[in-house]
Amino acid sequence: MAQQQRMGGQPMFILAEDSQRTRGEDAQSSNIQAGKAIAESVRTTLGPRGMDKMLVSDGGDVVITNDGATILEEMDIEHPAAQMIVEVAETQEEEVGDGTTTASVLAGRLLAQAEDLLEDDVHPTTIVEGYHEASALALEAVEDVTLDEELDDDLLRKVTESSMTGKGTGDVDAAALAGTVVDAIRAVDGEQGVGRENITVRTRTGASSSATELVEGVIAEEEPVHEDMPRSVEGASVAILDLDLEIREANIDAEYDITDVDQLNQAIEAEESELRGYAETLGDAGIDIAFVTGDVEDRVGSYLAEFGVLAFDSLSDDDAGAIARATGAKTLGSVDDLDTDDFGHADRVRVERFGGDDLAFVEGGAAAEAVTVLARGGTEHVADELERALNDALDVATAALDSGGVVPGAGASEIAIADHIRSEAASISGRKQLAVEAFADAVDVIPRTLAENTGMDPIDALVDLRSLHEEEGVAGLIAEGQTGHVDDPVEYGILDPAAVKREAVESATEAATMIVRIDDVISSS
Ligand code: ADP
Ligand code: MG
């Protein structure tokens, strides 16, 4: 429907004729429904007993995951308000790496509560204000429940393990993986905080998840240019070359240049000596390992092998960056004037074969403490989900160390948040109080969902949680085997980073208040 206005008697079209417009309560209600629906779709995956989702793309690709952000990313979502919930999950994933389901479920519940308030004639602006006040109270509560203890390895392992439980990683030993994650974090933990960018996760199929290991260095998905090259070099000088090692100018140019056999032989010799020259130059400069971004001609490869140089070609930008950071090698654009100062160093460079592919291990780089977690899985699906779980766990440990410690998990923090908001709501006047209380009710969705997914009665669970919280100040829903019970999650090592809770509250509030404020949807199609 085109929007028409009159100006000086002439009709003026301010919108394209085929644009769609929905206004007022219709717009609000359609947005709220869409947002709620999308949050609802990931609800069953929350917590250790959460189920997995299988997502099938148009092309038939299958992803099996329990990760909220991945699910929402894979789903083809068109509705703009639903898209905002997807963005909540994305922001959460980017900022803290975990809590994506929590954040989107909370956003959906905030919308559902807002819908009720709107029906009771609470103005959208009042809802927005109330939600913002409640969100500030929630952050206070997160601060209050943050554990005082220093984050030692033991505590760090617990947070890491909590973030991995319930991931579709098969029968992985979560404790062992958590140990690997903490070792990786400690290897790159310095005065500037955790150098998270120096930890990479690589996957390889062909072994069970328990074969997952920490490599003290960088692993590049590259294979040697020539089979006669050494497959392991100790105390290696490493060069990164951003060029092609091939004939610069064709010596055997066009047919009419060559008039007799001697000339041809000369041209061939000139080529050979140019190709051999590369190998000689690199060998003489003392380079043991050459990582080349461009092509390396086969003949150069065999000359390099003769000089005992291990070379890799068509290096990816990621690998080049990682190797440069780890070894301290500068990227060189030419082989003229090679200077040892520009080379990097590694204790060992070795090539290992995994399931038909070679991997280059660059260990003990001289410049930075780069490490790699080599994740193994029986199948690609298992390895991929393990990779996601490990990356989340690494982010979680980083968030716990660098941004504000850990809080009790298993719904305990949410029970504390809701309790704090309710007790402060009493002093807030007018209808805004209703919105603040509605926010507290929305936060209950997390423990309630954990209860449901554990097969417990959600109402009984909430009652028990609140009463234990009243007595002890901390109460969570411990999932064990096929059921669960109410207890202190800290005793069970169930902990989440405070940053995950803060980010979830902030991004869910932001999305929900944004959607509630919209009363006009104009889409040009
Ligand atoms: P998210 O995407 O929000 O991280 P998860 O499926 O990872 O969703 O579930 C996280 C929630 O599960 C957190 O609230 C966490 O405290 C809780 N949790 C983790 N382990 C347990 C456990 N053993 N028992 C109960 N809750 C747990
Ligand atoms: Mg999680």
Choose among 418, 411, 406: nearest CA to 484. Answer: 411
Q: Which ligand is nearest to the CA of 168?
A: 1
Question: Is ligand 1 within 6 A of the CB of residue 102?
Answer: yes
> Does the C-beta of 100 come closer than 6 Å to ligand 1?
yes
CA-derived radius of gyration, the chain: 30
Nearest residue to 369 via CA among 191, 234, 217, 196 = 217
d(CA 323, CA 214): 17
Is the distance from CB of 69 to CB of 63 less than 8 angstroms? no
- Quote the CA–CA distance of 344 and 327 in Å, as a whole number: 5
Tell me the per-residue pLDDT of 258-285, one tens digit each, with 9 for 90 and over: 667 787 788 888 888 888 998 999 999 9
Question: Does an H or E element contain 446, and which?
Answer: helix 445-453
Distance CA 196, CA 216 (A): 14
What local confidence, expressed as pLDDT, does residue 310 receive? 96
- Buried/exposed code over 451-475 (b: 16+ C-beta within 10 A; e: otherwise): bbbbebebeebbebbbebbeeeebb
pLDDT at 403: 83
CA 412 to ligand 1: nearest atom: 16
Q: Burial, 10: exposed, middle or buried (Cβ in 10 Å; 0-12, 13-18, 19+)?
A: exposed
Among the bound ligands, name the one nearest to the CA of residue 415.
1
Rounded to two decimals, the pTM is: 0.77
CB of 237 within 8 A of CB of 347? Answer: no
The answer to whether residue 419 scores a pLDDT higher than 60 is yes
Which ligand is closest to the CA of 449, given by its number? 1
* Tally of CB atoms within 10 A around 492: 17
Gap between the Cα atoms of 443 and 438, Å rounded:
9
Q: Which residue has the tokens 């984050």?
A: 151
Mutate to test the pocket of ligand 1, among 43, 96, 392, 450 (most ligand atoms within 8 A of CB): 450
The model's pLDDT over 299-319, given as tens digits with 9 standing for 90+, comes to 999 999 999 999 999 999 888
Q: Give dist(CA 199, CA 181) in Å, integer.
A: 10
pLDDT tens digits, residue range 161-193? 888 876 655 556 788 889 999 999 998 888 888
The pLDDT assigned to 144 comes to 95
CB 300 within 8 A of CB 201: no
Among 47-51, 62-66, 150-154, the minimum mean pLDDT is found in 62-66
For residue 100, the CA-to-ligand 2 centroid distance in Å is 7
Q: Hey, what are 422's tokens?
A: 């309710």
Give percent of the chain above pLDDT 90: 51
Which ligand 1 atom lies nearest to the CA of residue 479? Answer: 24
- Residue 521 has a pLDDT of 63
Amino acid 167: pLDDT: 63
- pLDDT given at position 25: 72
pLDDT-based confidence at residue 76 (cuts at 50, 70, 90): low
In CATH, what number does 217-367 get?
Answer: 3.50.7.10
Confidence of residue 54 (pLDDT cuts 50, 70, 90): low
For residue 54, the tally of other CB atoms under 10 A from its CB is: 11
Q: Indicate if the alpha-carbon torsion angle 141, 147, 150, 151 is positive or negative.
A: negative
pLDDT greater than 50 at residue 1? no
Q: Which of 171-180, 221-230, 246-255 has the highest mean pLDDT?
A: 221-230
pLDDT tops 70 at residue 229? yes
Which pLDDT score, from 0 to 100, does residue 150 have?
Answer: 84
Does the pLDDT at position 3 exceed 60? Answer: no
CB count, 10 Å around CB of 36? 22
Three-state secondary structure call for residue 520: strand
In the chain, DSSP finds a helix count (H) and a strand count (E) of: 16, 22
Here the tokens at position 223 are: 């294979």
Domain ranges of the chain: 18-147+408-524, 217-367
Mean pLDDT of 405-413: 95
Q: Worst-scoring range by mean pLDDT, 69-83, 346-360, 381-395, 435-449? A: 69-83
* Overall residue count recorded for the chain in this entry: 525
372 Cβ below 6 A of ligand 1: no
Residue 397 contacts by C-beta under 8 Å, 6 or more apart in sequence?
156, 159, 160, 181, 182, 185, 194
**Which amino acid belongs to residue 299?**
R
Sequence-ordered strand ranges (E) for 389-482: 406-408, 476-480
CATH number of 18-147+408-524: 1.10.560.10
For residues 349 and 289, the answer to whether their CB atoms sit within 8 Å is yes
- What is the structure's pLDDT at 2? 44
What average pLDDT does this structure show over 66-73?
Answer: 69
For the annotated catalytic residues, the residue numbers are 67, 100-101, 392
**What average pLDDT does the chain have?**
86
User: What's the gap in Å between 442 CA and the centre of ligand 1?
Assistant: 17
pLDDT tens digits, 100-129: 889 999 999 999 999 999 999 999 999 999
Report CA(438)–ligand 1 centroid distance (Å).
23
Nearest ligand 1 atom to the CA of 446 is: 14
